[in-house]
Each structure stands twice: as C-alpha cells, then as structure tokens.
A and B are shown apart, each in its own frame.
Chain A
Amino acid sequence: GQNIDQPTEMTATEGAIVQINCTYQTSGFNGLFWYQQHAGEAPTFLSYNVLDGLEEKGRFSSFLSRSKGYSYLLLKELQMKDSASYLCAVREAAGNKLTFGGGTRVLVKP
C-alpha cells in the first residue's frame, strides 16, 4: 500500500522560515514532488527530488532521504502570499501517476 504523511497545518510569521515534513511508504519510488495550492486554485509545481540531498530554488528548497522515506520543503523569508496548502506527492516506479499526501495548510501571519 501507499502512505504519505504530512502535518495538517502550520503557522509562521512573515519573514520567518517554515519546514514542512513529508514521510512516505510506497511500493516503489521514482521521484518526490512538492506542489503549492492556493484556496480554490490549481496545484502548481514547486520542486522535484529523485536523488538524496537538497534542491534549492530561490526561497524554496526541498530535501530528500530515500533510505528514510523522508522529504521536507523549506520556505524561507516567508511572505503573506505563501499562505497556501503544500502537497507532497510520490511517483512510484510504474508510470507517471503521482500519489499525494493530505497537504499542509500554511498560514503566514504579519
């Protein structure tokens, strides 16, 4: 079976840093994805990890440890517009289907 876990909600202050953790147990692994979704909108792609280590993209970074079945998304210099849900997703070895976790709602406060 598949199990992808992430916290339901996090709150942080504008300008601060927030780390969203994601743990997964899947029958296969061919990449981990992070998406951002504002309320009522489409999910948009943020990052992709397939090898262990850190991928940095501006204010956003994503880390992967395949041996631990663990990833995190790091958001730096938080802005009010970063208030959104962040979805962790795993692509298993077969095909291109992504399996999503329940999402983490991040609320950025002034």
Chain B
Amino acid sequence: NAGVMQNPRHLVRRRGQEARLRCSPMKGHSHVYWYRQLPEEGLKFMVYLQKENIIDESGMPKERFSAEFPKEGPSILRIQQVVRGDSAAYFCASSPPVSGVGGELFFGEGSRLTVL
C-alpha cells in the first residue's frame, strides 16, 4: 500500500525558470494539501485541494504559484519565474474525505527545490 508519492525529490532551477512538483496521494485519499518548509522552521500551509477543486488557497502567494489536482493524475504545484527565496522543501499530504474524528494527514517525503 504505497504512501504519498512526491517527485522529484530534488530539483535545481535557475532564477526565472519554472518548477513543477508532483504529488500522488495515498490510495483512497481524495484530499491533497501542500506545505512549504524552510530550514529549521515549521510547515507553512499553502493550498488544499480535492479532485478538480481548490478548497482553500489562503496560504498561496498571490503571484507565480498555482496548484491543481485534475480528475486523472497527480496534483501539481507550479512555481513560475522562480527566485532564490523559493528554495525550500515542499511537502504534500493527503487524507481521506473529511470525517468527524481523527483525520490525520499523511505526508510524502517532500520535494527539495534549490534555486541558483
């Protein structure tokens, strides 16, 4: 039973390029969350999606960042025109449909973006 799969695990981009990070949720999970983590810091919420629907994007920067979770295929976090400040670990998590009890998030191993 595969866990949350993220790829690439490591990505190097030059300033101005685009970064695409992919996340396949656990089997049976229909909710996906993206978090960003800077070194020695906690996880900062970015966006929460269900299939073909953005539920909460309150943590997404207004420009250059976008996310999708299509009907088929993985969720994608896209960062256009990357800058050095985008260098971070990006974690994806998934969960089953909302329930009244429990409902912990299951995290992937993260994608580490380095912007040169």
Which residues of A line the B interface, CB within 8 A? 31, 33, 35, 41-45, 48, 50, 87, 89, 91, 95-103, 105
Contact = CB atoms under 8 A, between A and B. Distances in A.
Nearest to A6: B42
Contacts of A91: 103
A42 B109 contact: yes
Given A42-B109, A48-B104, A98-B105, A87 B43 contact: yes
Question: Which of under 10, 10 to 19, 20 to 34, or 35 or more describes the interface residues of B?
Answer: 20 to 34
A96 B105 CA distance: 8
Interface of B: 4, 31, 33, 35, 40-45, 48, 55-56, 91, 95, 98, 101-110
B55 A98 contact: no
Given A42-B108, A87-B42, A87-B43, A97 B48 contact: yes
B45 A45 contact: no
The 7 closest A-B CB pairs, nearest first, are A102-B42, A42-B107, A100-B43, A45-B104, A103-B42, A100-B42, A43-B107
Nearest to B33: A97
Given A33-B104, A42-B108, A95 B56 contact: yes
Nearest to A8: B40
B103 A45 contact: no
A99 B43 CA distance: 8
B102 A48 contact: yes
B43 A43 contact: yes
A95 B102 CA distance: 12
A31 B42 CA distance: 18
Contacts of A95: 48, 55-56, 98
A1 to B, nearest CB: 12
Given A45-B104, A103-B42, 19 more contacts: A31-B102, A35-B107, A41-B109, A42-B4, A44-B107, A45-B105, A45-B106, A48-B104, A87-B42, A91-B103, A95-B56, A96-B33, A97-B45, A97-B48, A98-B45, A98-B105, A99-B45, A100-B43, A105-B40
A41 B105 CA distance: 15
B50 to A, nearest CB: 10
